[in-house]
C-alpha cells in the first residue's frame, strides 16, 4: 500500500524552493500543451517569459505594463493572504474588486464636472469602503449564523457582476454616450484620472498603494500583536481561543482588510488602465490573486515577486496570442497550472510517501 505520512517538521529549504519547482513544472507541461497545439514550445515559453522584458521590439510597451498588471494582483493578494493566514477563506475578492470600482466611480461621477483636487481622494475612500462593505456581508453571516465564507463570498461575485451590468446600462451610464453602456471616461477628466506618476513606467497610484500594502502587511504579520493573533488563529485555533483572541473580531478584521484592498484595486483600475465602468470591466484579477497569494507563500515579499511573475504571464500570454496565434484559453490554463503544481509540490512538503501496510493505532 502507498500512503502519506505527515512530516514532523517540513523542510524549510523545500518549502522555499517548491514555488520555483512549480514554475519549472508549469513550463514543462505547458510547453507540452503548446506543442500539442502545433506551436514550438520553446518559442512559446520564450515569448511568454523573455520577450516582454528583453525583446527590444516589444519591451518599450510591455515593460511598463508589468507594473500596471502587477499592481492590482499584489494589492488583492496581500489582503487575501492575511485572511488565509487566519484560516478565513475569502474567495470572493473579484466581487469586492467590482464593488470597489462601482462605489469609487459613483462617488466621482456624482461631482462631475468639478476639477476639485479632493475628488480623487474621495473616490479612493469610497472604493475602499465599497470593497470593505461587500466583504462584510460574509463576515456578518459567518459570525452571526455560522455560514461558510467560501460559498457566500463566491456567490456574491455573481451578484456583483449583475450589479455591474445594471449600473453600466443605467445609473452610471454616460448620458453623452449615445445609449451605449458604460460610464464617462475617467481618462478625459483630470480630477478623477489615475494617471502615470512617472511617464512611460506604468507607475500609478495603484502600484504605489500595492507597495505600501506589502510593507504594511509585513509589519503587521511580523511586528504587531494583531498579526500574531492572526497567525495563531490559523495555526492553532484552540490555543488562540484559550489566549483570549476573539474569533469574530479576527473574521471581521481579515475580511475587512481583504475587501478594502480589493476595492482599492478596482478603483485604481477603473480610473486608470480601464478608464470607465463597463459591462466587461472585471478581468478576473480577484481569482488570479488567489494563485499569487499561494505562489508567494502568503508572505508579503513573496507575493510581491509572485505578482510580478503572474503579471509577466499576462503580458507574455497576450503577446503569444498575437504573435503565435495561441488561443486565450491555453494561456489561462497555463496560469492555472502554476497553482496546481504548487499545491501538488506542497503535498510532498508536508507529507512523505510510505510504502507497505499502514500501522493500526
Which tens digits make up the pLDDT trace of 299-337?
999 999 999 999 999 999 999 999 999 998 999 899 889
CA atoms within 13 A on the CB side of 15: 12
Q: Which of 107, 109, 110, 112 is nearest to 126 (CA)?
A: 107
Check pLDDT > 80 for residue 154: yes
CA dist 187 and 184 (Å) reads 9
Looking at residue 355, the DSSP 8-state letter turns out to be E
In this structure, is residue 331 part of a structural domain?
no
Q: In the numeric block, which cell numbers belong to residue 73?
A: 494582483
d(CA 164, CA 278): 7
Q: Could you tell me if 253 and 168 are in contact, meaning their C-beta atoms sit under 8 angstroms apart?
A: no
Judge whether 353 lies within some domain: no
| Percentage of the chain lying above the pLDDT 70 cut | 98
Which residues, other chains included, contact 191 with Cβ-Cβ below 8 Å and sequence gap of 6+? Answer: 108, 114, 115, 116, 117, 119, 120
3 state SS of 87: coil
Closest of 15, 7, 2, 9 to residue 302, by C-alpha: 15
Is 232 part of a structural domain of the chain? yes
Q: Please choose, from the candidates 135, 69, 61, the residue with its C-alpha nearest in 3D space to the C-alpha of residue 274.
A: 69
Q: Is residue 283 part of a domain?
A: yes
Residue 159, domain extent: 40-325
Q: What angle in degrees, to the nearest 10, is found between the helix axes of 93-109 and 119-145?
A: 140
Q: Provide the β-strand partners of residue 6.
A: 351
Residue 4 pLDDT: 80
Mean pLDDT of 328-355: 87
343: in domain: no
Residue 351 pairs in a beta bridge with 6
Residue 234 lies in a domain: yes
Q: Classify residue 357: in a domain, yes or no.
A: no
Give me the phi and psi of 200, to 5 degrees please: 85, 5
pLDDT score, position 304: 96
The pLDDT of residue 6 is 83
pLDDT at 358 over 60: no
* Number of domains into which the chain is organized: 1
Closest listed residue to residue 260, CA positions, set 96, 143, 140: 96
**What is the per-residue pLDDT across 70-96, written as a single tens digit (0 to 9) for each?**
999 999 999 999 999 999 999 999 999
What are the cell numbers at 224?
504587531
- Residue of 211, 200, 252 lying closest to 90 (CA atoms): 252
The predicted structure's pLDDT at residue 335: 87
Is the per-residue pLDDT at 360 higher than 60? Answer: no
Domain CATH number, residue 255: 1.10.3470
Tell me, what's the pLDDT at 212? 97
Count other C-beta atoms under 10 Å from residue 9's C-beta: 5
- pLDDT for 357 equals 66
**Quick check: 361 pLDDT over 60?**
no
- Please report whether residue 350 resides in a domain: no
Q: pTM for the complete prediction?
A: 0.92
Amino acid at each position: 500500500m502507498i500512503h502519506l505520512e505527515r512530516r514532523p517538521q517540513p523542510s524549510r529549504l523545500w518549502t522555499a524552493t517548491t514555488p520555483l519547482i512549480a514554475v519549472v513544472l508549469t513550463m514543462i507541461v505547458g510547453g507540452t500543451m503548446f506543442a500539442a497545439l502545433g506551436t514550438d514550445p520553446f518559442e512559446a515559453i520564450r515569448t511568454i517569459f523573455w520577450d516582454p522584458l528583453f525583446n527590444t521590439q516589444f519591451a518599450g510597451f510591455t515593460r511598463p505594463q508589468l507594473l500596471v498588471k502587477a499592481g492590482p494582483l499584489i494589492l488583492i493578494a496581500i489582503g487575501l493572504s492575511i485572511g488565509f493566514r487566519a484560516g478565513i477563506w475569502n474567495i470572493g475578492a473579484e466581487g469586492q474588486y467590482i464593488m470597489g470600482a462601482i462605489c469609487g466611480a459613483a462617488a466621482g461621477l456624482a461631482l462631475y464636472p468639478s476639477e476639485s483636487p479632493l475628488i480623487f481622494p474621495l473616490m479612493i475612500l469610497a472604493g475602499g469602503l465599497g470593497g470593505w462593505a461587500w466583504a462584510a456581508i460574509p463576515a456578518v453571516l459567518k459570525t452571526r449564523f455560522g455560514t461558510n465564507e467560501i460559498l457566500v463570498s463566491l456567490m456574491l461575485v455573481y451578484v456583483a457582476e449583475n450589479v455591474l451590468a445594471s449600473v453600466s446600462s443605467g445609473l452610471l451610464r454616460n448620458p453623452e454616450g449615445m445609449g451605449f453602456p458604460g460610464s464617462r471616461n475617467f481618462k478625459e477628466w483630470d480630477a478623477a484620472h489615475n494617471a502615470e506618476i512617472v511617464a512611460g513606467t506604468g507607475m500609478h497610484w495603484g502600484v504605489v498603494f500595492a507597495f505600501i500594502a506589502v510593507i504594511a502587511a509585513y509589519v503587521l504579520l511580523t511586528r504587531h500583536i494583531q498579526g500574531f493573533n492572526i497567525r495563531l488563529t490559523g495555526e492553532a485555533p484552540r490555543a488562540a481561543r484559550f489566549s483570549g483572541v476573539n474569533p469574530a473580531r479576527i473574521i471581521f478584521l481579515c475580511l475587512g482588510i481583504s475587501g478594502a484592498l480589493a476595492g482599492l484595486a478596482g478603483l485604481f483600475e477603473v480610473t486608470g488602465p480601464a478608464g470607465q465602468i463597463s459591462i466587461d470591466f472585471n478581468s478576473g484579477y480577484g481569482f488570479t490573486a488567489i494563485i499569487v497569494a499561494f505562489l508567494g507563500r502568503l508572505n508579503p515579499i513573496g507575493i510581491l515577486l509572485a505578482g510580478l511573475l503572474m503579471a509577466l504571464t499576462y503580458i507574455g500570454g497576450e503577446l503569444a496570442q498575437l504573435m503565435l496565434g495561441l488561443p486565450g484559453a491555453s494561456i489561462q490554463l497555463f496560469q492555472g497550472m502554476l497553482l496546481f503544481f504548487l499545491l501538488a509540490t506542497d503535498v510532498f512538503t508536508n507529507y512523505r510517501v510510505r510504502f507497505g501496510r499502514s500501522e493500526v493505532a
